[in-house]
Amino acid sequence: MSMRKIVVPVDGTPAVQGALETALFVGRWLEAHVEAVHVRVEPTAAVPLVGEGMSGALVQDLIELTERESAGRAAAAKAMFEEARARAGVAAAENPAPSGVSARFIEFRGIEEDTVVNRARLADLVVIGRPIVHPEALSTVPFNALIFESAAPVMVAAAAAPGALKRIVVAWNDSKECARAIKYALPLLHRAESVEVISVGADPDVDRACADAVQFLAWHGIAAMPRIVADTGSPDERLGDACSGADMVVMGAYTHNRLWQMILGSVTRHMIERTSLLLFMAH
């Protein structure tokens, strides 16, 4: 199993710099192809609904202004990509090669969320920034749209690209979402120097489930260490503290139903909003 195609949305703002650099770093590490996707909004769709009082000339002026701004953002996104690609030492390429890292910038017109989700469906990984940390972003592809609709694992980047992915933690709770995440992450886990499987709880079933995950990784040639964390206090805070210092955390996203999350909160949200860890998630 390998990862050969990584998608990262790029809007040209500093908010996506970390995600772009992370995608290129992972691309080099795995010898994968990185596709930086920029979506221009159609000017006619960006102009607000107007009443009879607005003249056709004014509407045309708004459309032309939107088009100029859109062109400026596209140019900034392309320049950001080229500078990051050059710094990372990654070659530009459009067509698949048998091996090696490469990257390309590709531009579309339409609705950003729909376009990026569609591109991610035929990718092995999609990398995004933290929109909560970067409210200044011109546009952000919602995490939920990607995690539920793209059929690809989602990597939520930290503020900057990782220096290494030596220590990877698997946050295991015996759910199907965690099972998908750990399977998707195998190419990354194989290259790590240290893998730890962390489960939160004091029930004997927690010990068994953690041991099963460690054994599954062993069948894939990955020597992982189990670790059980007491469930005193808030589970999401306990998990966040236990994962501190990891280069990356592999975990399922939204492993409980929506009502449960609304009432009791979400570990997924906590890890995205309250930690700065590099996260690898799947639903």
Task: Give the residue-averaged pLDDT of 100-122.
Answer: 94
Assign domain 167-282 to its CATH superfamily: HUPs (3.40.50.620)
- pLDDT one-digit tens code per residue, 182-210: 999 999 999 999 999 999 987 889 999 99
43-47, 127-131, 153-157: range with lowest mean pLDDT: 43-47
Task: Give the residue-averaged pLDDT of 162-171.
Answer: 94
**What band does 44 get if pLDDT is binned at 50, 70 and 90?**
low
The yes-or-no verdict on residue 265 having pLDDT over 50 is no
- CB of 135 closer than 8 Å to CB of 164: no
Same fold, 5-156 and 167-282: yes
Strand order in the sheet with 125-128: 91-92, 102-109, 33-40, 5-9, 125-128, 154-156, 279-282, 248-252, 167-171, 194-200, 224-229
Task: Give backbone dihedrals phi and psi of 267, rounded to 5 degrees, phi first.
Answer: -65, -35
The yes-or-no verdict on residue 259 having pLDDT over 50 is no
Can you give the pTM of this predicted structure?
0.89
Structure confidence at residue 53 (pLDDT): 54
**Other CB atoms within 10 Å distance of the CB of residue 83:** 12
**What band does 6 get if pLDDT is binned at 50, 70 and 90?**
very high
- For the chain, domain boundaries: 5-156, 167-282
* CA gap 252, 266 in Å, rounded: 11
State what percent of residues in the chain have pLDDT above 90.
61
The residue to which tokens 């793209």 are assigned: 150
The yes-or-no verdict on residue 261 having pLDDT over 80 is no
Query: Higher confidence at residue 131 or residue 225?
Result: 225
Task: Give the residue-averaged pLDDT of 52-80.
Answer: 79
Q: Which of 77, 74, 114, 91 is nearest to 32 (CA)?
A: 91
Structure confidence at residue 201 (pLDDT): 86
Please give the full DSSP string across 131-186, using - where no structure is assigned. Answer: TTT-TT-S----HHHHHHHS-S-EEE--SS--S---EEEEE--S-HHHHHHHHHTH
- Hey, what CATH topology would domain 5-156 get? Rossmann fold (3.40.50)
